[in-house]
Amino acid sequence: MRAEDEKRSGPGDGPVLLAHGSGGRLGRELVESVFATAFDNEVLARMEDAALLDVGGRLAMTIDGHVVSPLFFPGGDIGRLAVTGTVNDLAMSGARPLHIAAGFVIEEGLEQEVLSRIAASMREAAAEAGVDIVAGDTKVVERGAADGLFITTCGIGTVSAGVEISAAAARPGDAVLVSGSLGDHGTTILCQREGMSLESDLESDCAPLNGLVEAMLSASGEEIHCLRDPTRGGLAAVLNEIATASGVAIEIKEEHLPIRSQVRAACELLGLDPLVLANEGKLVAFVDAGAANVVLEAMRAHPRGREAAIIGSVAAAEKPRVYLRTQLGSRRILVMPAGEQLPRIC
């Protein structure tokens, strides 16, 4: 993003840019200056992945729009993404996902057969996650007024008593864990879009994570302080969000980051950083150091966490910061990505 673009688009002012759609700083500014200001309420202000609601028992609620291009990609499609994205946002609140509602905006001319394949894929993902799609809505717009298909999914789930997971709950001494390799989804979409086929076995990691979270909570519920899925903006955005919300410093070690060789190769070719690429089936957990190994073992015993690793730790800090300790031993600041490197990645 160029400096003048950034200047043109101060908070609440100027045209919306693609960069505002990112998981980075500009996206955050748009949300804060336009929506959080307008809808001003305590639940929304928490800016968690799902809203926690007290409707007799605690309920979590989340919504997510999906505009990925292309609609189909190795390892998934927009339908699978729409279900798992919402399931995962609920799971990251420590909620048990129960029900999904799906709104479709369809461009006139899309083949119904395509729509049916996507719906079947949604059903499959819902079955995998153990949720039902209980409500829906369909709007059709004229040719050219949308690009194929957009799916917005909303989900609700229940939160057990005692579960207190929040981006603001990371504490000095916590270990930082990831559930597996980073950047698979973003790299897959990008290669698909650029017509590159680096390696035939690279595919999106798009998958529901509620089963994995349940296994982790069973292993050590109260020692898990914070869970996030690093989607748009990747690991860099999520760690910066948590550092800011919790008021801590986070240091991660480059040598411990699980990144596939195909992802490294594609990123080198395309000039991208795997730490800002989207994941759709991975989570980051902040866990009390004393429980880190127990949680790690529980993760590795689950199909969605076989490659889980401890990648860093949390320290007290005057200023929230995320540091990357490189393989050469030097330390650099891992900044919040500003704009959108990859539009329509999810």
Segment 19-58, which members bind a copy of itself (CB under 8 A)? 19-21, 27, 30-31, 33-35, 37-41, 43-44, 50-51, 53, 55-57
Question: Given candidates 5, 72, 74, 110, which one binds a copy of itself under the rule CB under 8 A?
Answer: 110
Question: Given candidates 2, 3, 4, 142, which one binds a copy of itself under the rule CB under 8 A?
Answer: 142
Q: How far is the CB of 112 from a copy of itself (least distance, A)?
A: 6
Q: How far is the CB of 256 from a copy of itself (least distance, A)?
A: 31
Instruction: State phi, psi for 126 to the nearest 5 degrees.
Output: -65, -40
Q: How far is the CB of 71 from a copy of itself (least distance, A)?
A: 13
Distance between CA atoms of residues 150 and 147, nearest Å: 8
Residue 101: which of 139, 63, 69 has the closest Cα? 63
Residues 210 to 249 in contact with a copy of itself, rule: CB under 8 A: none
Q: How far is the CB of 211 from a copy of itself (least distance, A)?
A: 20
**Order of strands, edge to edge, in the sheet holding 248-253?**
224-228, 284-287, 175-178, 309-316, 248-253, 321-325, 331-333
The pattern of x and - marking residues 117 through 136 that bind a copy of itself according to CB under 8 A reads --xx-xx--x-----xxxxx
Question: Given candidates 71, 81, 95, 102, which one binds a copy of itself under the rule CB under 8 A?
Answer: 102
Q: Residue 69 or residue 220: which is nearer to a copy of itself going by CB? A: 69
Check binding of 111 to a copy of itself (CB under 8 A).
yes
Exposed, middle or buried by CB within 10 Å (0-12, 13-18, 19+), for 112? exposed
Q: Residue 158 or residue 220: which is nearer to a copy of itself going by CB? A: 158
Question: Given candidates 1, 5, 6, 63, which one binds a copy of itself under the rule CB under 8 A?
Answer: 63
Q: Residue 145 or residue 269: which is nearer to a copy of itself going by CB? A: 145
Q: How far is the CB of 145 from a copy of itself (least distance, A)?
A: 4
Start-to-end CA distance of the chain, whole Å, equals 20
Q: Residue 98 or residue 294: which is nearer to a copy of itself going by CB? A: 98
Check binding of 163 to a copy of itself (CB under 8 A).
no
- Could you tell me the CA-to-CA distances from 78 to 56, 82, 104, 227 in Å, in that order? 34, 6, 11, 24
Check binding of 340 to a copy of itself (CB under 8 A).
yes
Q: Could you tell me which stretch among 8-16, 208-216, 269-277, 309-317 binds a copy of itself (CB under 8 A)? A: 8-16
The DSSP-derived string for 151-220 is EEEEEEEEE-TT----TT---TT-EEEE-S-SSHHHHHHHHHHHT--S-TT--------HHHHHHHHHHH
Question: Given candidates 66, 80, 225, 302, which one binds a copy of itself under the rule CB under 8 A?
Answer: 66
Q: Could you tell me which stretch among 108-116, 210-218, 237-245, 251-259 binds a copy of itself (CB under 8 A)? A: 108-116
Distance between CA atoms of residues 264 and 286, nearest Å: 25
Distance between CA atoms of residues 264 and 182, nearest Å: 10
Quickly list H helices, 221-326.
234-246, 261-270, 292-300
Number of residues that bind a copy of itself (CB under 8 A): 84
The DSSP-derived string for 298-327 is HHHTSGGGTT-EEEEEEEE-SS-EEEEE-T
Question: Given candidates 24, 25, 62, 284, which one binds a copy of itself under the rule CB under 8 A?
Answer: 62
The pattern of x and - marking residues 80 through 99 that bind a copy of itself according to CB under 8 A reads ------------------xx
Q: Which residues contact 176 (CB under 8 A, 6 or more apart)?
A: 239, 250, 252, 284, 285, 286, 310, 311, 312, 313, 314
Kindly state the DSSP code that residue 254 receives in the 8-state scheme. G
Check binding of 18 to a copy of itself (CB under 8 A).
yes
Is the C-alpha dihedral spanning 70, 27, 236, 98 positive or negative? Answer: negative
Check binding of 112 to a copy of itself (CB under 8 A).
yes
